[in-house]
A and B are shown apart, each in its own frame.
Chain A
Amino acid sequence: MAERILDVKNLEINFHTYAGDVKAIRDVSFHLDKGETLAIVGESGSGKSVTTKSLMGLLANNAEVVGGSVMYHGQDILKKSEKEMQNIRGKDIAMIFQDPMTSLDPTMKIGQQIAEPLMKHKKMEKKKAWAQALDILKLVGIVDPEKRINEYPHQFSGGMRQRIVIAIALVCYPEILIADEPTTALDVTIQAQILDLMKELQSKIETSIIFITHDLGVVAGMANRVAVMYAGKIVEYGTVDEIFYNPQHPYTWGLLNSMPTLSSTLLEAIPGTPPDLLDPPKGDAFAARSTYAMKIDVEQEPPFFKVSDTHYAATWLLHPDAPKVTPPTEIIRRQKLFAEMSVNKSVKA
């Protein structure tokens, strides 16, 4: 087993608002191994971004960590002071943001923007930092970097800017890279380029990635493991194959069902909207939108049921007493493929 570098346990985060406390993150646990890519998937407002911002210590002022721990190198990040966090941010844990059009300072040369973390964390002087900035610009595939290092963000296209944002994040060779929907704001063709670049760089500088997205299609090619979030909780997690081909939670079914595939003829939307986290529903938060809801779903919260060593899902459907239900046809098709794959694997072995 690989070294475990980040361990999030029972994280709970509330937002204080005028209307009351929004329970944005409710008992979330996950971990990250060295060199792997973990994807956190969920629709807007499910708490993906809040989770990762808490890892960076970048939560908004009205957010409060109510409970839980985030262990990183044997220390709880949540207990660190702002000063201590400043030394971790950008150096050990770095972040790529969603919109490259707005995440670069319009009035600063990009060379300086890339050099800043080096000057802060490695105490480099400006000249040396710029030299290293030039190297990383080459690495992220900026053409003619000697000239462009002196340019300003508005002189770059969206895809190029995201490459620069990636360069800023990676310039200190961080252990963990958090990518918050890094391709959402980009054209589809550019998306693929950026994803390829991230994969390539990951192997070069040996970083672990937490990849946040609402787009399952992006996940398939990027991630080793996937955690599915809904209404501030993780509802299912497992390896990519397990989530894609042997999903157990009705919400994961819904997500997969709403994703276009080669064979699908009809995309099905998940009915309804996510629950109000000011007053989260009792039991399984997804019950109100699920066609498979059972009485116990609105009474008690489902625990995680083990599917395999790496695969857990929080749904009452996995309880031994639960009636067997028939998933949507697309899911049945996937599960059949999964069965074939595991047969193949065992044959090969």
Chain B
Amino acid sequence: MRKYLLKRVFYMVLTLFLVATITFFLMKLMPGTPYSNQEKMTPQQIQIMNEQYGLNKPIWLQYLIYLGGMLHGDLGTSFQYSNQPVSYLISSRIGASAQLGLQAMIFGVVIGIIIGSFAAINRNTWIDTLCTILSIIGKSVPNFVLAVLLQFYIALKLGWFPIADWGGFSYTVLPTIALGVGPLAETARFIRTGMVDVLNSDYIELARAKGLTKFGIVYHHALRNSLIPLVTLIGPYTVALMTGSMVIENIFSIPGIGEQFVKSITTNDYPTIMGVTMLFSAGLVVVILLTDIVYGIIDPRIRLSGNGD
């Protein structure tokens, strides 16, 4: 188990190193300069700026400085907001994004499990059909379209929730729904398929033969067996939420990482782009490792083989 973990951590570090390297050199290849968005600058001004940001050093030195800084948590300085370190930019915004992402994940997964198991238990009835149609729609309607519709009809017309900005819990409701619908639909589909399989299995028939109640069978046997594989989807969900946050945070003007990312892309703010890229990659890598470990803990079949070495 320990050997396995060490190996995984090594690959994580390798992955992040490669991402950092590739991002760095891609940024150097990028057309346009950080100044092209600003007012005309004299060559002297550019010279000063270059020196300030270390852009006049040879590329390999810049690369080493960048890597070295990263080890200390220094991601460089933003071009967009002068003198603001990227790490500060990120840390001041990560709270909103994390809260939104977590809420959306919980909302999607919980409601998805309920809808999915409801459909599976009432298989081939109108309930099942309704749940299936809903989850297809949820999977198919892009979250940014949904976000705009929610914002207009629920917030603006009905006035139930704030239209935009970030404050108390009520500000998070609509973005959470918009962001969570994708995972919700995916979970519902996944759980329905899994649970239909499980409900048809021999051990459910044995549980029925024991005289257990319908609820007991679903709760003790069917649910657990169909929930375990859901853990493998948390990685892909994280990706979906990161992607979604870019546009949802923009629509609802939430001061989060995603909104910052879009801003820095449109302003050629390389250090911030690189910083967020690293953050997203690191986040995903950690989530994947964690889900693998969790999967091993909750599935007894894997647990054993994990102890084997």
Chains A, B in direct contact (C-beta < 8 Å): yes
Q: Interface on A for B, CB 8 Å cutoff?
A: 56, 58, 82, 85-91, 94-95, 97-99, 102-108, 116-117, 120-121, 152, 154-155, 165, 168-169
Set of chain A residues within 8 Å of B216, measured between Cβ atoms:
120
Q: Is the CB of A165 within 8 A of B221?
A: no
Set of chain B residues within 8 Å of A99, measured between Cβ atoms:
202
Q: Interface on B for A, CB 8 Å cutoff?
A: 201-203, 205-214, 216, 220-221, 224-225, 228, 299-301, 304
Q: Is the CB of B304 within 8 A of A107?
A: no
Q: Is the CB of A94 within 8 A of B203?
A: no
Q: Is the CB of B206 within 8 A of A168?
A: yes
| CB-based nearest A residue for B303 | A152
Q: Is the CB of A116 within 8 A of B203?
A: no
Min Cβ gap B153→A in Å is: 41
Partner of A90, one of B201, B211, B228, B304: B211
Set of chain B residues within 8 Å of A107, measured between Cβ atoms:
224-225, 228, 299-300
Set of chain A residues within 8 Å of B225, measured between Cβ atoms:
105-107
Q: Is the CB of A87 within 8 A of B211?
A: yes
Q: Given A152-B301, A154-B304, are A102 and B212 also a contact pair (CB < 8 Å)?
A: no
Min Cβ gap A63→B in Å is: 14
Complex Cα distance, B214 from A58, in Å, reads: 12
Set of chain A residues within 8 Å of B206, measured between Cβ atoms:
95, 97, 103-105, 165, 168
| CB-based nearest B residue for A91 | B211
Complex Cα distance, B205 from A127, in Å, reads: 25
Q: Is the CB of A103 within 8 A of B211?
A: no
Q: Which 6 A-B pairs have the closest CB atoms?
A: A90-B211, A89-B211, A90-B210, A152-B300, A103-B202, A102-B202
Q: Is the CB of B212 within 8 A of A86?
A: yes
Complex Cα distance, B210 from A186, in Å, reads: 23
Q: Is the CB of B301 within 8 A of A117?
A: no
Q: Which of B208, B214, B225, B299 neighbours the largest number of chain A CB atoms within 10 Å of its CB?
A: B208
Set of chain A residues within 8 Å of B202, measured between Cβ atoms:
97-99, 102-103
Q: Given A58-B205, A120-B216, A168-B206, are A106 and B300 also a contact pair (CB < 8 Å)?
A: yes
Set of chain A residues within 8 Å of B208, measured between Cβ atoms:
58, 89
| CB-based nearest A residue for B208 | A58
Beyond the given A87-B211, A152-B301, A155-B304, please list 7 additional residue pairs across the A-B interface where CB-CB is below 8 A. Answer: A86-B213, A94-B209, A102-B202, A107-B225, A108-B220, A120-B216, A169-B209
Partner of B201, one of A58, A102, A120: A102
Complex Cα distance, B228 from A88, in Å, reads: 32
Complex Cα distance, B234 from A240, in Å, reads: 59
Q: Given A106-B301, A107-B224, are A88 and B211 also a contact pair (CB < 8 Å)?
A: yes
Q: Is the CB of B211 within 8 A of A117?
A: yes
Min Cβ gap B123→A in Å is: 9
Set of chain B residues within 8 Å of A98, measured between Cβ atoms:
202
Min Cβ gap B126→A in Å is: 15
